[in-house]
Amino acid sequence: MAKTSVSLEMLMQQALTGDKRAYADLLRDTAQFLRPYLSKRLSAASDVDDLLQEILVSIHKARHTYDGKRPYKPWVFAIAHFRLQDYLRTYYADQLRFASEIGELENTLPADVTNSDFSYESISGEVNQLPEKQAAILSLMHEEGYTAKEVAAKIGMKESAVKVAAFRAYKILREKLSK
């Protein structure tokens, strides 16, 4: 363990003098020991990969703040923790926005469906002008009669995401048709 730590510090010192090979080795080693740390905290493997790449960029940007006089790992983990917090903050802010959109959808969706004066066929022209994904969702739900859950499974989205996309599509259609 101590050997690894020393070698990481040496690699960084060599990298700071412009040794590209040492730098590549260092980044690979760093990615290797950071991956389990991130995997414990993030569920999706793709998120781990994205964040790991972001952390490597941050290490690259901040490498002039490492002078080799202190252990390397605490320096790296400070950066990793900082980027992880940033990532989680953005993630939860998105979740919160998403939840409020779902809430809004649940309040308005039943009324929209029961009070609709239009059949799907009569507005299919407008539906086709919607963004591709929204149009596909409305088509599956209203032309082919799938539920939101079935649509989600069919096109590989979360059910809540399908509902939000449908809600946005209804909103656009309502605006268009009320003109």
Partner 1 sequence: MDAMEKQIASLVADADSVQLAPSPLTLWLKWMGIAAAYIAVSLLFLGVRSDVLESMHNALFLAEMGLLIAIVITTALSASLLAYPDIYQRSRWTLAPIFMFVIFVGVIALAWQADNPPAPLPVHSYQCSLTIAVLALLPAAWMFYSMRQLASTHRRFAGVVTMLSAFSIGAITLRLSEQTNSIIHVIEWHYLPMVGVAWLGVWLGKQLLKW
As measured in angstroms, the least distance from the Cβ of 99 to partner 1 is 25
Q: Are 8 and 73 in contact (CB under 8 A)?
A: yes
As measured in angstroms, the least distance from the Cβ of 96 to partner 1 is 19
Between 15 and 137, whose beta carbon lies closer to partner 1? 15
Count of C-beta atoms within a 10 Å radius of residue 100: 10
SS3 content of the chain, % helix, strand, coil (to 5): 85, 0, 15
Between 65 and 115, whose beta carbon lies closer to partner 1? 65
Say how far apart CA 178 and CA 6 lie, in whole Å.
70
Q: Are 8 and 22 in contact (CB under 8 A)?
A: no
As measured in angstroms, the least distance from the Cβ of 48 to partner 1 is 11
As measured in angstroms, the least distance from the Cβ of 41 to partner 1 is 17
Between 36 and 103, whose beta carbon lies closer to partner 1? 36
Between 21 and 158, whose beta carbon lies closer to partner 1? 21
Instruction: Identify the DSSP state of 145.
Output: -
- Where on the chain is the footprint of partner 1 (CB under 8 A)? 15-18, 20, 23-24, 27-28, 31, 49, 52-53, 56-58, 60-65, 67, 69-71, 74-75, 77-79, 81-82
Rounded CA Rg of the chain: 25
